Amino acid sequence: MSLRPFFEPSSIAIVGASPNTTKVGGVVAHTLIMNMEKGILKAKIYPINLKHEIIFNTKCYKSLKHVDAPIDLVIVAIPAPAVPEVLEEAGQVGVKACIIISSGFKEVGNVDLQNQVVNVAKKYGIRIIGPNCLGVFDPFTGVDSLFLPEFKQLSTGKEVLATPRPRPGSIVLISQSGALGAALLDYMAGINLGLRCFVSFGNRADVDESELLEYFMEDRLTKVILLYLESVSDGRRFLKAAKNTSLKKPIVALKVGKSKSGARGAASHTGSLAGIDQIYQAAFEECGVIRANTIEELFDMGRALLYQPPALGNNAVILTNAGGPGILAADALEDSGLQVVELSERTKQLFKQKVEEGVFPPIMSYANPVDLSAQVSSDGFREALNILLDDPKVNAILVITLHHTPFVMDDIVGKVAGPAFEKSKPVIAVDIGATEMAQEIRARFEKFRVPSFNAPERAARALYALAYYGMFLKENGVSK
């Protein structure tokens, strides 16, 4: 059965709905009803609770059987022992999709109860996300089973945004961990990165990471997929699903459990066996999955893959107006396995000619890093970038635009973004600093779809992701 009812249901029942927003079922019911009233969610909502007749101005039903209408999706937020009985009832009324938020199953050693849930679901052909999960947040359809309140009131009385929902976008986020998933959504919202869909699958009693990859591979709104994994449930299926998906859309994975203590944590968290890390690394390389080492890298790589084309080789050039940051970038690129390539003779001659014509300062260096010096203007950056983009030896460019120098103003963004947009080679920008102008420059670059970072090391890892993905596509005969 298609997973579509999880993301595009025409009706949703919440078992365990409550008028109290300090309870899981209360948060979910309130969010969905508000989304429906705002017109974001087109589905009908059916709160289910024996004790209430009205929840948030919406009629409440005593059970699923009391709902005199088809139900596409059921969200379960009740104690674990009662879940099999609810699933039995769901099957009897024809429900085909269920998100089980409830915990207390395999992750705490209660394997028999989880098996019971699986058996009931198979009996009726019900698809399950969970248990022990947050479920689904789809900003396009308004489906939101996150039981984490969007706003909280501080002890001072001030209301603050606590669990933000990112704006609609093109990045899918799939997380085995619900709590980390929520934190990653917060991160996305904070850096204004748009979300296509979020899925927290928890114990994956049924729907797993492989099936989700297959689903979003065919989704026209999805451009990049980010994964947080503690393990995979079916290695062979994952290899096939990940490779097929990678040939169409890039996947970046943050796979944890490298250490013995990390593997123990995974086992106690979602009942997962993390496995030998070298095996996962080899599997990722086989199927084109790009591996991130940190949360920051996960999103840095995601942004780069979203905004820029893949690099068709490992040869990188650094264009800078400051020597020190250029050296940092060179070290970081080589540490990531990229080549800080020597420029072609034609390119060197063009730089020499432009120096003689007064376009570039006479003290510039056209080795790699190409150091234009602190005397260069924004126009000089544009001229240099055009020359480098035309060099057939160059596959990708890391541009460091320190705004602190006298002649670089905010027009630097357009001067760099223009040539980057016109060519098919990836360009990534760096402006080091944490105060107003640095933040302004980086924000403007992002608006022009040029990923921009506050440190050369972050930019180098993002460029690595573009080169890794480009080489994978090239090796498999795919052009983008």
Which domain-ending residue is among 132, 163, 182? 132
Q: Say how many domains are in the chain.
A: 3
State which residues of the chain have pLDDT below 70: 259-275, 480
**Cβ-Cβ contacts under 8 Å for 475 (sequence gap 6 or more):** none
Looking at residue 274, its pLDDT comes to: 47
| Same domain, residue pair 159 and 289 | yes
| 46 within domain boundaries | yes
Last-in-domain residue among 75, 104, 132: 132
Alpha helices (runs of H) in 50-177, residue ranges in sequence order: 83-92, 111-124
Do both 303 and 154 map to the same domain? yes
| Domain presence at residue 125 | yes
Is 141 part of any domain?
A: no
Phi-psi region of 275 (alpha: psi -120 to 50; beta: other; left: phi over 0): left
Contact between 112 and 122 under an 8 Å Cβ cutoff? The reply is: no
- 124 and 69 in a single domain? The answer is yes
* CA 22/CA 204 separation, integer angstroms: 26
Residue 156, in any domain of the structure: yes
Question: Among 287, 307, 327, which residue terminates a domain?
Answer: 307
Strand 370-371 relative to strand 315-320, pairing: parallel
Residue 7: which of 171, 185, 141 has the closest Cα?
141
**Together in a domain, 432 and 471:** yes
Does 480 fall in a domain? no
Positive or negative, the CA dihedral 83, 85, 91, 94 is negative
Question: How many Å is the Cα radius of gyration of the chain?
Answer: 26
Domain hosting residue 62, numbered range: 1-132
159-161 and 151-153 strand pairing: antiparallel
Say which CATH number the domain at 422 has: 3.40.50.261
Domain shared by 247 and 331, yes or no: no
Residues in the chain: 480
| 51 assigned to some structural domain | yes
Same domain, 256 and 339: no
**Tens of pLDDT, residues 12-49:** 999 999 999 999 999 999 999 999 999 999 999 999 99
Q: Are residues 174 and 207 in the same domain?
A: yes
Residue 261 has a pLDDT of 58
Residue 277, in any domain of the structure: yes
Confidence at residue 150, expressed as pLDDT on a 0 to 100 scale: 84
Q: Domain for residue 352, yes or no?
A: yes
169 and 117, same domain (yes or no)? no
pLDDT of residue 259: 56
pLDDT at residue 368, rounded to an integer: 95
Predicted TM-score (pTM) of this structure: 0.94
Q: How far is CA 68 from the centre of its chain?
A: 39
Q: Rounded distance, CA 248 to CA 216, Å?
A: 10
3-state class (DSSP) for residue 400: strand
CATH of the domain at 22: 3.40.50.720
- Looking at residue 68, its amino acid is D
* pLDDT recorded at residue 440: 95
Domain match, 300 and 420 both: no
**Whether residues 297 and 325 fall in one domain:** no
Same domain for 334 and 303, yes or no, is no
Same domain, 332 and 276: no
pLDDT value of residue 275: 58
Reference 344, options 388, 384, 400, 312; nearest CA is 388
